[in-house]
Amino acid sequence: VSPYVLITPNETRRHQLQQSKLSFAKKELDDLEQWKEEHRPGPIRLVPQRLGGKESEAQARQKQQMMLMQSKYQQKHKREEYVKAKKAAEEAEILKKKAIQREKAERLEVKKRQQEMQRRETFLENQYYKTNELLNRLDLGLPKSDSCHIANGGPESTVW
């Protein structure tokens, strides 16, 4: 006793399926051949001509060689022009960046100058106030000229 059941194929049905597949493939191939026949290009009808003009074969080859050499030079020239244009674009980009950096530096310089002027003004104001404060303190600390005479007036001015 096996764990599965084996069903044997039906030979007649298998044979019919194979025949139908073969007939279908044959029909497809016939259709392809028929389509190729229907779409085959027709014969080419050209009037016979003498090709090459009035030049000899050697002249034609020499002309071809000259054109090849010229095309090489033209390609080289084209490459050089491309490199020049690329360098010019890069140079323009560099100059543009330099101009931007120059403007930034100028703005920074102006800002530094303004800060320096502000610092100097603040310093001078502070110095002026400190000087006035010192002078005022010195004026208060010294006796006035009138009080000097009274203090040093002699023995008659003392209470003793």
Q: What pLDDT score does 159 carry?
A: 59
The whole-angstrom separation of Cα 135 and Cα 91 is: 65
Q: Among 12-16, 107-111, 126-130, 139-143, where is mean pLDDT lowest?
A: 139-143
Question: How would you classify residue 43: left for phi > 0, otherwise alpha for psi between -120 and 50, otherwise beta?
Answer: beta
Q: For the segment 60-104, what is each residue's pLDDT rounded down to a tens digit?
A: 889 999 998 899 889 999 999 999 999 999 999 999 999 999 999
The whole-angstrom separation of Cα 152 and Cα 145 is: 11
The whole-angstrom separation of Cα 101 and Cα 89 is: 18
Q: Is 3 helix (H, G, I), strand (E, B) or coil?
A: coil
Question: How would you classify residue 46: left for phi > 0, otherwise alpha for psi between -120 and 50, otherwise beta?
Answer: beta
What percentage of the chain reaches a pLDDT higher than 70? Answer: 86
Q: What pLDDT score does 9 carry?
A: 83
Are residues 115 and 123 in contact, defined by beta-carbon separation less than 8 angstroms? no
The whole-angstrom separation of Cα 78 and Cα 86 is: 12
Q: Is the pLDDT higher at 137 or at 36? A: 36
Q: Is the dihedral of CA 129, 132, 134, 140 positive or negative?
A: negative
What percentage of the chain reaches a pLDDT higher than 90? Answer: 57
Structure tokens at 83: 């490199």
The whole-angstrom separation of Cα 79 and Cα 76 is: 5
Q: What pLDDT score does 158 carry?
A: 56
Are residues 55 and 63 in contact, defined by beta-carbon separation less than 8 angstroms? yes
Q: What pLDDT score does 2 carry?
A: 61
Q: What pLDDT score does 44 carry?
A: 86
The whole-angstrom separation of Cα 103 and Cα 105 is: 5
Q: Is the pLDDT of residue 32 over 90?
A: yes
Are residues 52 and 60 in contact, defined by beta-carbon separation less than 8 angstroms? yes
This prediction has a pTM of 0.37
